[in-house]
């Protein structure tokens, strides 16, 4: 080969080698991450706390269906504004889409307590491996409103639904959900406090 | 002839004094004697006399015609209205010719002549002496067809001077003494002619010289003019300034077709986010910090197809100038850079055009000059046709196209002013219609219309008696520029409308003297921005913003040639932002010190403000376009300080090396607030500060031989700091960026290649995911809702880096001519050796171990097309 052509061939081959990368590759799992789903519902006598691992590639956190893997044996407690600590009881029978979930139920009746609108409640979750998650929230000073369903058939493509409710002090926003008679969620709207 | 310039009735009487451009000329100069030369057809080298003009005169007296010529051509002409023959009626055909020729034509056949005083003043004098005191030889020079020959040199033996024939071929000479005289006529391109006459005292003779053609073969003459680049190097500090000509842009390897923005991406200091983006990140800045100008008018989103192509039609571009930092006071409104795109001005007579046919689109342009250099025009259009091609296979299979139309027009106005008009319209359209109301319609595009009037006043103009300099240039611009986007999905379930409209007036006046170029200017605009989204069916709230604000600036800039080795450009800009009611002063300073004529040290500093921002997130690797929003009571004006230090070396007239280091400090940068509450105005942004520093190197070889090209390397480091003190690398932060661009020309083929090698940009790693549960207050259960809502757990912001990227693009062009038309088919390959570059990652945590998959950059992408130019 002439010198220049040989040099070009070497350069091209080098570039070709440099260009070879692997598009898909396994990566190391990240550490265990605890996810806590919890809500305070003043309309319910049992408060729910779901504790699970996020999917991080860890063999212990392989998902079941859409969910992560639940964490059993956790210490779950809700602290009332008056300082009463209500402990959650693990429900080992709860299935969601065929997957066992680690749901903790906090029975208010067992402590003779009710959730007070305007009150600030604390949540503490401690897993068997020692990870601890804490949080707090203030219940808006509002009551649940469930309007009567319309008397006539309602089509969301055609009809307009007008709703009104009493504003709650301290509420950041409202969620309005419209369900069909069959229980199918048709629409969920989120409103900020001054846009109702 | 001896005379005095203002003593009345000494030798000449001045009944009229017609003065134009009379700056700094005394009303009556001290009487001096001079020996005045006669006016010749070439204007005796005086610019005003050599200039071409169309003098519009009918049948008038010589005096009236002279006055008209003086007024129209701006001459200082003096004559005595009592001179014999000056009231004679003459007819001057309305033809465009040199002013000197018109003057001589006016006096042709009269006993008058024009002499030129030592101060370039023109004086009309009686041309003949009494017949009893001299001998006179008159005559006419013509070619063999009888056409008058102007400029022939008539030499009379014994005379110390020569005379020239006028436009009508006439001449008059006075032999020094009676007797035998030899008259020789010489004119380039003709054989000499000679006649001998014998005249007694007071005699005159009228001769006819008919010259035979004698074509001359001259040796080749090589002339060199200072190149524009060299002139820029010598005349201005030009810190951070780089230019690409239209030919250079079109000769870089193309991604399907030549693209201005993709060519600019290859310059030092500039980096691209990834293969799919034609946007610019200049010296660590965000992509909305670049002021893009089309003939001086701002254009807000000059991209098609999510930034894959720029809106500029390559054949319409004459030159692109990038100011990557430390730019002077006339530029403002953005923090990082200015990209000044100038339309090509046609200079060749006749109609010319180009047609660029590629796999993607066809672009056609037509251009021509107007009159004899009175102006030019150019129109161009481009449209993609992937949609039309796909329609052959299946109707509405690829319902997307984009198109551009551009026009550029320049014309010289009466009085020497220059008018320029530029109009651009571009549209991207994605529309699917399945025959019902279920239509998806998505369009976006730019419209720009602007006009500029400019005029230069030469010869020491004055204002109310105050001298303004040796020359003054005035320019006034008016423009409107808007970018809009509109998205409507089926049954109007989602609609999005956004836009920015900029109506602007700007102008400046520059005074040029030997040591200073002083510019005073302004820039005032009203900017309307709007952003509105609604989803009535889903009843989900989005932010909606509508703003109408005004921005204005006053600036002063002084380019001071302190010494032959030192240029200093100092100025400042007073910026006002109406929406926020704030004003601030931004000083600018740059200098260039010539260590040798070919080596200069440069430095610049300045403060820059940006009152218009983009809603786009720099962390997102692919952005369709930017939504613009103006500073107001809730959104601060962003600021930056630039510090630039560099050196520029002209290694040879065609080879340049430039190194510049930069440090930029930002404050009040706006970043998208990921926790913004929908429907709550004013929380869309969070405020950050930051800095960028590094250096860039350019080694450029201009086209003087077979090879031209450049090597550009940039080292940059950028960080941003959140309000809580957390630092992170912004998405555009790229540590090393190398671009090698080469162009090899042979008579039949041109080969262009570009190799890019760059370290990766940062990204935020995904460490895991989970499904967000929704609480149903009716059933009092936690569910996955109707559709699983996957949430990601992420690492620190931009805490990881993408790997090295590289790419080799090559194109080969066949240079051919068919009946005077340049036909250049080309074949190009992007990513010739298929480097698998990743622009982003997707993560899958459903398996153990988890997998990370590349979102790939360009694959091997061959394309071909043809450029036709005539």
Does A57 sit within 8 Å of B782, measured CB to CB? no
Average pLDDT score over residue span B686-710 = 92
Does B784 sit within 8 Å of A24, measured CB to CB? no
Residue B666: HSE in the Cβ half-sphere, 13 Å Cα cutoff: 29
Higher pLDDT, B815 or B74: B815
For residue B150, what pLDDT band results from cuts at 50, 70 and 90? confident
Shortest distance between the Cα of B495 and any Cα of chain A, in A, equals: 16
Q: Highest mean pLDDT range out of B537-551, B583-597, B812-826?
A: B583-597
State pLDDT tens for residues A72-131: 889 999 999 999 999 999 887 666 655 667 789 999 999 999 998 889 999 999 999 899
As a whole-number percent, the residues of chain B with pLDDT over 90 amount to: 43
CA distances B276 to B304, B444, B651, B806, B855, Å, are 11, 18, 36, 14, 11
> How many residue pairs from chains A and B have C-beta atoms closer than 8 A?
148
Report yes or no: B341 and B312 within 8 Å, Cβ to Cβ: yes
Tell me, what's the pLDDT at A196?
38
For residue A191, what pLDDT band results from cuts at 50, 70 and 90? low
Q: Best mutation site among A22, A56, A59 for testing chain B: the one with the most B CBs within 10 Å?
A: A56
State pLDDT tens for residues B620-678: 887 777 788 888 888 899 999 999 999 999 998 889 999 999 999 999 999 888 777 66
CA distances B145 to B105, B191, B210, Å, are 21, 15, 9
Which of B 762-781 lie inside 8 A of A, CB atoms?
A: 767-773, 775, 777-778, 780-781
Taking the C-alpha atoms of residue B650 and residue A55, their distance in angstroms, rounded to an integer, is 60
Q: Does A41 touch chain B (CB under 8 A)?
A: yes
For residue A8, what pLDDT band results from cuts at 50, 70 and 90? low
Shortest distance between the Cα of B441 and any Cα of chain A, in A, equals: 20
CA distances B443 to A66, B86, B400, B483, B629, Å, are 37, 71, 9, 11, 19
Whether B390 shows a pLDDT value over 90: the answer reads no
Cβ contacts (< 8 Å) between A66 and chain B: which residues? 771, 784, 788
Does B808 sit within 8 Å of A15, measured CB to CB? yes
Q: Which residues pair with B115 in a beta bridge?
A: B38, B123
Cβ contacts (< 8 Å) between B768 and chain A: which residues? 30, 33, 54-57, 61
Does B788 sit within 8 Å of A190, measured CB to CB? no
Does B835 sit within 8 Å of A96, measured CB to CB? no
Taking the C-alpha atoms of residue B202 and residue B690, their distance in angstroms, rounded to an integer, is 93
Strand order in the sheet with A75-79: A85-87, A75-79, A120-126, A132-138
Query: Which DSSP letter does residue A64 get?
Result: B
CA dihedral B36, B39, B40, B42 (to 10 degrees): 110
Which of B 831-870 lie inside 8 A of A, CB atoms?
A: 833-838, 843, 845-854, 856
Shortest distance between the Cα of A181 and any Cα of chain B, in A, equals: 13
Taking the C-alpha atoms of residue B231 and residue A147, their distance in angstroms, rounded to an integer, is 79
Tell me, what's the pLDDT at A162?
77
Average pLDDT score over residue span B172-187 = 86
Tell me, what's the pLDDT at B640?
97
Higher pLDDT, B540 or B91: B91
Cβ contacts (< 8 Å) between B835 and chain A: which residues? 15, 18-19, 21
Average pLDDT score over residue span B339-358 = 90
Does B786 sit within 8 Å of A55, measured CB to CB? no
Q: Best mutation site among B490, B492, B768 for testing chain A: the one with the most A CBs within 10 Å?
A: B768
Local structure of B202: helix, strand or coil: coil
Taking the C-alpha atoms of residue B504 and residue B513, their distance in angstroms, rounded to an integer, is 30
DSSP output for B498-539: EEEEEEEEEEEEEEE-SSEEEEEEEEEEEEEEEEEEEBTTTT
Q: Please give the structure tokens belonging to residue B303.
A: 């991209």
| Residue B322: closest CA among B239, B221, B258 | B239
- For A144, the closest chain B residue by CA position comes to B777
- For A14, the closest chain B residue by CA position comes to B833
Tell me, what's the pLDDT at A61?
52
As a whole-number percent, the residues of chain B with pLDDT over 70 amount to: 90
DSSP output for B440-508: EEEEEEEEEEEEEEEEEE-S--EETTEE--SEEEEEEEEEEEEEEEEEE-GGGSSEEEEEEEEEEEEEE
Does B836 sit within 8 Å of A21, measured CB to CB? yes
Q: At what angle do helices B99-107 and B62-73 cross, to 10 degrees?
A: 170
State pLDDT tens for residues A153-171: 777 677 777 777 777 776 6
Report yes or no: B407 and B422 within 8 Å, Cβ to Cβ: yes
Which of A 86-105 lie inside 8 A of B, CB atoms?
A: 96-97, 103
Does B846 sit within 8 Å of A58, measured CB to CB? no
Cβ contacts (< 8 Å) between A103 and chain B: which residues? 782
Which member of B755, B838, B850 has the closest CB to residue A27? B850
Which member of B795, B836, B850 has the closest CB to residue A29? B850
- For A50, the closest chain B residue by CA position comes to B782
Report yes or no: B843 and B820 within 8 Å, Cβ to Cβ: no
Whether B9 shows a pLDDT value over 50: the answer reads no
* Termini Cα distance of chain B: 56
State pLDDT tens for residues B14-37: 322 222 333 333 333 333 333 467
Cβ contacts (< 8 Å) between A68 and chain B: which residues? 770-771
Tell me, what's the pLDDT at B512?
93
Does B784 sit within 8 Å of A96, measured CB to CB? yes
Cβ contacts (< 8 Å) between B680 and chain A: which residues? 192
Shortest distance between the Cα of A38 and any Cα of chain B, in A, equals: 8
Which of B 659-688 lie inside 8 A of A, CB atoms?
A: 677-680
Report yes or no: B406 and B380 within 8 Å, Cβ to Cβ: yes
For residue A182, what pLDDT band results from cuts at 50, 70 and 90? low
Tell me, what's the pLDDT at B89?
81
Tell me, what's the pLDDT at B657?
96
For residue B531, what pLDDT band results from cuts at 50, 70 and 90? confident
Tell me, what's the pLDDT at B12?
32
Report yes or no: A42 and A108 within 8 Å, Cβ to Cβ: no
For residue A64, what pLDDT band results from cuts at 50, 70 and 90? low
Phi and psi based region of residue A97 (left: phi greater than 0; alpha: psi -120 to 50; beta: remaining): left
Does B541 sit within 8 Å of A44, measured CB to CB? no
Shortest distance between the Cα of A81 and any Cα of chain B, in A, equals: 23
State pLDDT tens for residues B403-436: 999 999 999 988 889 999 999 999 998 887 655 5
Cβ contacts (< 8 Å) between B782 and chain A: which residues? 37, 39, 48, 50, 103
Mean per-residue pLDDT over chain B, rounded? 85
| Residue B824: closest CA among B218, B315, B189, B173 | B315
Q: Please give the structure tokens belonging to residue B584.
A: 């601030």
State pLDDT tens for residues B286-309: 989 999 999 999 999 888 877 788
Q: Please give the structure tokens belonging to residue B278.
A: 């034609």
Average pLDDT score over residue span B108-133 = 72
Taking the complete model, does pTM exceed 0.90, yes or no? Answer: no
Q: Please give the structure tokens belonging to residue B165.
A: 């024939």
- For A26, the closest chain B residue by CA position comes to B851
Cβ contacts (< 8 Å) between A144 and chain B: which residues? 777
**B316-320, B404-408, B588-592, range with the lowest pLDDT:** B316-320
Helix and strand numbers (H, E) in chain B are 7, 60
- CB count within 10 Å of CB B803 equals 12
Query: Which DSSP letter does residue B306 get?
Result: G
Q: Please give the structure tokens belonging to residue B411.
A: 């014309």
Q: Which residues pair with B501 in a beta bridge?
A: B482, B528
Does B679 sit within 8 Å of A66, measured CB to CB? no
Tell me, what's the pLDDT at B519?
97
State pLDDT tens for residues B238-248: 999 999 888 88
Does A41 sit within 8 Å of B775, measured CB to CB? yes
Q: Does A44 touch chain B (CB under 8 A)?
A: yes
Taking the C-alpha atoms of residue B658 and residue B267, their distance in angstroms, rounded to an integer, is 12
Which of A 144-173 lie inside 8 A of B, CB atoms?
A: 144, 156-157, 172-173
Average pLDDT score over residue span B532-541 = 63
Which of B 732-761 lie inside 8 A of A, CB atoms?
A: 755
Which member of A48, A56, A190 has the closest CB to residue B845? A56
């Amino acid at each position: 080969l002439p010198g220049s052509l040989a040099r070009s061939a070497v350069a091209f081959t080098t570039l070709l080698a440099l260009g070879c990368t692997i598009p898909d590759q396994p990566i190391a799992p990240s550490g265990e991450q605890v996810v806590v789903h919890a809500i305070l519902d003043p309309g319910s006598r049992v408060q729910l706390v779901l504790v699970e691992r996020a999917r991080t590639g860890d063999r212990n956190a392989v998902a079941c269906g859409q969910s992560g893997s639940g964490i059993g044996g956790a210490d779950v407690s809700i602290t009332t504004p008056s300082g009463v600590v209500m402990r959650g009881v693990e429900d080992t029978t709860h299935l969601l889409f065929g997957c066992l979930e680690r749901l903790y139920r906090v029975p208010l009746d067992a402590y003779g307590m009710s959730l007070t609108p305007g009150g600030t409640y604390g949540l503490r979750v401690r897993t068997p491996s020692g990870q601890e998650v804490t949080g707090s929230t203030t219940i808006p000073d509002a009551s649940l409103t469930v309007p009567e369903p319309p008397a006539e058939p309602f089509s969301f493509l055609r009809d307009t639904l007008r709703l009104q409710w009493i504003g709650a002090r301290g509420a950041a926003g409202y969620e309005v959900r419209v369900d069909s008679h069959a229980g199918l969620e048709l629409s969920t709207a989120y409103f900020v406090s001054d846009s109702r | 002839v001896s005379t005095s310039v203002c003593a009345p009735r000494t030798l000449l009487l001045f009944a009229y004094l017609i003065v134009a451009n009379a700056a700094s000329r005394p009303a009556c100069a001290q009487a001096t004697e001079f020996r005045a030369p006669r006016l010749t057809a070439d204007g005796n080298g005086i610019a005003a006399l050599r200039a071409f003009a169309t003098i519009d005169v009918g049948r008038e007296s010589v005096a009236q015609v002279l006055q008209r010529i003086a007024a129209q051509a701006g001459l200082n002409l003096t004559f005595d209205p009592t001179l014999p023959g000056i009231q004679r009626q003459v007819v001057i055909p309305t033809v465009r010719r040199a002013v000197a020729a018109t003057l001589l034509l006016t006096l042709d056949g009269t006993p008058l002549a024009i002499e030129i005083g030592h101060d370039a003043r023109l004086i009309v004098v009686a041309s003949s002496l009494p017949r009893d005191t001299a001998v006179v030889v008159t005559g006419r020079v013509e070619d063999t067809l009888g056409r008058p020959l102007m400029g022939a040199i008539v030499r009379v033996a014994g005379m110390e001077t020569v005379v020239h024939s006028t436009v009508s071929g006439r001449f008059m000479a006075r032999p020094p003494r009676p007797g035998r005289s030899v008259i020789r006529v010489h004119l380039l391109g003709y054989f000499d002619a000679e006649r001998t006459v014998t005249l007694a005292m007071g005699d005159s003779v009228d001769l006819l010289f008919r010259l035979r053609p004698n074509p001359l073969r001259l040796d080749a003459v090589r002339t060199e003019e200072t190149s524009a680049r060299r002139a820029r190097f010598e005349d201005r500090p030009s810190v951070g300034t780089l230019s690409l000509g239209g030919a250079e842009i079109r000769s870089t390897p193309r991604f399907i077709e030549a693209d201005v923005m993709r060519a600019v991406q290859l310059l030092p200091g500039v980096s691209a986010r990834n293969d799919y983006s034609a946007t610019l990140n200049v010296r660590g800045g965000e992509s909305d910090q670049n002021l893009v100008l089309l003939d001086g008018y701002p254009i807000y989103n000059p991209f098609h197809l999510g930034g894959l192509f720029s809106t500029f039609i390559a054949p319409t571009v004459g030159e692109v100038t990038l100011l990557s930092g430390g730019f002077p006071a006339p530029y403002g409104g953005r923090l990082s850079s200015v990209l000044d795109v100038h339309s090509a001005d046609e200079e060749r007579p006749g109609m010319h055009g180009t047609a660029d046919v590629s796999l993607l689109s066809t672009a056609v342009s037509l251009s021509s000059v107007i009159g004899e250099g009175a102006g030019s025009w150019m129109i161009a259009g481009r449209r993609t046709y992937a949609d039309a091609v796909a329609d052959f296979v299946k109707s509405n299979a690829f319902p997307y196209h984009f198109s551009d139309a551009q026009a550029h027009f320049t014309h010289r106005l009466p009085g020497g002013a220059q008018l320029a008009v530029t109009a651009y319209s571009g549209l991207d359209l994605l529309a699917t219609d399945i025959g019902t109301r279920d239509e998806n319609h998505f369009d976006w595009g730019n419209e720009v219309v602007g006009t500029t009037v400019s005029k230069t006043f030469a010869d020491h103009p004055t204002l109310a008696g105050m001298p303004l300099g040796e020359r003054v240039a005035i320019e006034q611009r008016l423009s409107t520029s808007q970018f809009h986007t509109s998205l409507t999905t089926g049954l109007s379930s989602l609609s999005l409308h956004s836009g920015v409209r900029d109506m602007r007036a700007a102008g400046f006046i520059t005074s040029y003297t030997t040591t200073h170029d002083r510019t005073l200017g302004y820039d005032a605009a009203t900017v309307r921005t709007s952003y509105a989204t609604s989803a009535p069916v889903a009843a989900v709230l989005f932010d909606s913003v509508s703003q109408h604000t005004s921005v204005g600036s006053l600036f002063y800039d002084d380019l001071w040639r302190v010494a032959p080795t030192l240029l200093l450009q100092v100025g400042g800009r007073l910026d006002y932002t109406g929406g926020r009611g704030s004003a601030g002063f931004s000083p600018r300073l740059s200098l260039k010190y010539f260590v040798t004529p070919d080596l200069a040290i440069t430095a610049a500093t300045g403060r820059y403000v940006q009152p218009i921002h983009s809603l786009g997130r720099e962390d997102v690797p692919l952005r369709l376009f930017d939504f613009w929003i103006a500073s107001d009571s809730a959104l601060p004006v962003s600021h930056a300080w630039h510090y630039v230090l560099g050196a520029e070396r002209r290694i040879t007239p065609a080879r340049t090396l430039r190194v510049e280091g930069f440090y930029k400090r930002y404050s009040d940068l706006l970043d998208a607030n990921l926790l913004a509450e929908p429907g709550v105005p004013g929380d869309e942004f969070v405020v950050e500060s930051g800095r960028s520093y590094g250096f860039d190197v350019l080694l450029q070889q201009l086209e003087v031989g077979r090879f031209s090209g450049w090597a550009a390397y940039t080292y940059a480091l950028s960080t941003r700091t959140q309000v809580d003190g957390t630092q992170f690398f912004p998405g555009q932060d790229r540590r090393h960026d190398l671009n090698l661009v080469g162009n090899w020309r042979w008579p039949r083929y041109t080969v262009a290649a570009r190799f890019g090698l760059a370290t990766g940009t940062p990204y935020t790693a995904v460490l895991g995911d989970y499904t967000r549960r929704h609480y149903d207050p009716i059933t009092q259960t936690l569910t996955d809702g109707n559709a699983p809502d996957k949430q990601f757990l992420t690492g620190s912001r931009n805490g990881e880096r993408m790997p090295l990227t590289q790419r080799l693009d090559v194109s080969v062009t066949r240079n051919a001519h068919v009946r005077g038309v340049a036909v250049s088919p080309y074949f190009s390959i992007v990513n010739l050796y298929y480097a698998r570059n990743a622009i982003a990652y997707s993560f899958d945590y459903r398996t153990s171990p988890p997998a990370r998959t590349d979102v790939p950059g360009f694959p091997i992408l061959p394309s071909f097309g043809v450029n036709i130019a005539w």
